[in-house]
Structure formats: structure tokens, C-alpha cells
């Protein structure tokens, strides 16, 4: 397994649509440099999605099999449960696999992931 900083630097975040990518870029422009809470949530969400992508593509895992390991791996800033809800919404809204991710969250995954933080 590659380390998270390498995965983050060398994995292109896959967006669900052009509009999702534009929304992400606008959030960066409007909030990232002005709000530490938002920037921490965005950094975690980006790394989390990229780690899941990496595990699905390079290791053949399903999203469901990668989501927990990816969350642990992506949490290099030691986010708290307060950041988690915002990060989940970002991943669900902009990521290529956001719909599948949100279904996992809604079907009991939230309680599992929350216990990690």
C-alpha cells in the first residue's frame, strides 16, 4: 500500500460530473483559504475519496470494502466527528461514486464510520 500523501499527490479525484467539479473548485475559491474547519473537511474528503479510488482500482476492492480503511488512512489531520458530517456530504455530492458511498452511509455505515472518530 502506498502512503496517503503519495496517493493524494498522484491520484486524480474523479468527479461525478462537470458541475460537481465546478462546485468543488468554487468551494475552494470561496472557503478553503478563509475557514480552517472547511479546509480540514475538504482535505479529508479529497483524501478519503482518492484512497477509496486507489483501493478499488489498484487493489480490486469494492467501495464497501475500502471505505473504512480509506477513512483511517485519509485522517492525517486527525479530524473529529464534527468534521465527519461535512466531509461525508462533500464526498457524496461531488465524487464519481458518491451515490454508492451515500447508500453505504445511509444503510448503517454512518454509525460504523463515526465510531472511528
pLDDT tens-place string over residues 60-115: 999 999 999 999 999 998 899 999 999 999 999 999 999 999 999 999 999 999 88
The answer as to whether 96 is a domain residue is yes
Helix axes 18-27, 81-94, angle to 10 degrees: 140
Q: Read off the pTM.
A: 0.92
What residue has cell string 461525508? Answer: 88
**What pLDDT is stored for residue 23 in this prediction?**
95
The answer as to whether 60 is a domain residue is yes
**What pLDDT is stored for residue 55 in this prediction?**
94
Please tell me the distance from the alpha carbon of residue 94 to that of residue 17, in angstroms, as a whole number.
8
The answer as to whether 2 is a domain residue is no
**What pLDDT is stored for residue 26 in this prediction?**
94
Instruction: Say if residues 53 and 76 touch (Cβ distance below 8 Å).
Output: no
Give pairs for 10-15: CB < 8 Å, separation 24+. Answer: 11/50, 11/53, 11/54, 13/46, 13/49, 13/50, 13/53, 13/95, 14/49, 14/53, 14/95, 14/96, 14/97, 15/94, 15/95, 15/96
Domain membership of residue 101 as a residue range: 41-117
pLDDT tens-place string over residues 47-57: 999 999 999 99
Q: How confident is the model at residue 2 (pLDDT cuts 50, 70, 90)?
A: low
The answer as to whether 52 is a domain residue is yes
Indicate the burial class of 73 (C-beta count within 10 angstroms; 0-12, 13-18, 19 or more): buried
The answer as to whether 111 is a domain residue is yes
Domain count, the chain: 1
Q: How confident is the model at residue 3 (pLDDT cuts 50, 70, 90)?
A: confident
**What pLDDT is stored for residue 54 in this prediction?**
95
Amino acid at each position: 500500500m502506498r502512503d496517503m500523501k503519495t496517493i493524494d499527490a498522484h491520484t486524480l479525484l474523479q468527479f461525478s460530473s462537470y458541475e460537481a467539479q465546478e462546485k468543488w473548485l468554487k468551494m475552494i475559491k470561496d472557503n478553503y483559504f478563509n475557514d480552517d474547519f472547511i479546509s480540514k473537511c475538504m482535505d479529508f474528503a479529497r483524501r478519503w475519496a482518492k484512497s477509496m479510488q486507489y483501493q478499488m482500482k489498484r487493489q480490486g476492492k469494492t467501495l464497501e470494502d475500502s471505505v473504512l480503511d480509506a477513512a483511517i488512512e485519509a485522517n492525517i489531520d486527525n479530524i473529529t466527528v464534527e468534521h465527519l458530517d461535512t466531509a461525508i456530504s462533500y464526498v457524496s455530492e461531488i465524487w464519481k461514486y458518491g451515490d454508492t458511498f451515500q447508500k453505504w452511509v445511509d444503510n448503517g455505515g454512518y454509525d460504523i464510520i463515526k465510531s472511528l472518530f
